[in-house]
Structure 1
């Protein structure tokens, strides 16, 4: 192979290696129902973001500084979490590594789920459920106070394509994707998967708490 061809192939190999590294670093998340996000999270709050800055989070194994974005927040309500309120949220510096972008002007309210870091701090990624409060449905808002927690022992199984089914009584089949081609469809927006008195789980719709009859095996 002549020198020109060797140089060309070297350049192609370098480009491919760079692209593979880029893909390996890209953020990838499996869709989750809002109830799953609530149950998986350490902390669930309603808050405004009032400040933003880049901070140093130590060094990697090569001695290079690790950067994070720090959001200073004003917590409005805590739905799940420690007795102490949250004052600071950390996230990665870019969406490629699952960093979350929030408006720091103190005007927009958010529903935020994430992991606790102690001392009034938490960490969030693009895989957490984070929505402008105005986009959260009335049913979802009501479910944050009690109903989602009632279903944390249930399993919500996503149906990516037909056919699909559940394998155990404690599962609810999430069909928004196949029915509406959306992960923010009817079940995500208006339903919770609730555990009933016999240990089975079923979808429940409504803003009021589930009736005693539903918990004692009434069809949803």
Structure 2
């Protein structure tokens, strides 16, 4: 007989398997803001003005598929379709990568997401979604114009030493090694963009680089 408060071996195995499923379902590698911009279908600045749970269909077993619909007021589109976006959708819980946003109509967010074939925008915890006022001036300028200029480059995250780039179009992202956070100086202030020899390098500055840009500089 199983003791009170304990689990049988088969039940424990099932629970661990389900926990593993949930953990795997929301596993995503950290991304530099530039990568988030380049990989996203949609990048907008928006206020969330309402939310509700909606039914969007059913799975293969007939179980209802629910989503949270955030009604938004689009303040500015940096990347996306020609039509204005008035809602974004996410999973109902963080366990399955659902995003929680303040829907008071006052909080502004930078939102990156995926544009589905039906024209709806879906977001997950793996997307770059942060309060607008938490962005640095360089990040705001990046989302407005500069990140797009670097989408032909690749950012390689250094998670342990030694690490290096293997291609001239790569920039080595070392915030985790040097600062123990992925929100270090390179994420906050730098853009990886092409130089005039078609290689890529980190660039810091408020203005776009000069045509003869050959290395990191502050204009």
The question of a shared fold, defined as TM-score above 0.5 by the shorter chain, is answered with yes
Q: Indicate the structure (1 or 2) with the bigger Cα radius of gyration.
A: 1
Segments of 5+ residues of structure 1 without an aligned counterpart are: none
Q: Check the 8 A contact 2:41/2:112 in 1, yes or no.
A: yes
TM-score (norm 2): 0.93
| Matching of residue 94 in structure 1 with residue 93 in structure 2 | yes
Contact 1:89/1:121 (<8 A) preserved:
yes
Partner of residue 167, structure 1 = 166
Alpha-carbon distance between aligned partners in 2 of 1:181 and 1:5, rounded to the nearest angstrom: 44
User: Contact conserved, 1:52 with 1:70, CA < 8 A, in 2?
Assistant: yes
**Residue matched to 2:16:** 19
TM-score, scaled to structure 1: 0.92
The 1-side partners of 2:138 and 2:186 are apart by 11
**Residue pairs, 1:107-186, within 5 angstroms:** 107-117=106-116, 121-186=120-185
Give the 3-state SS of the residue equivalent to 2:70 in structure 1: strand
Higher helix share: 1
Q: 8 Å contact 2:113–2:123 — kept in the other structure?
A: yes
Aligned residues: CA RMSD: 1.9
Which deviates more from structure 2 when the two are superposed, residues 192-201 or residues 128-137?
A: 192-201
Structure 2 stretches of 5 or more lacking a match? none
Deviation at 1:197, TM superposition (A): 2.3
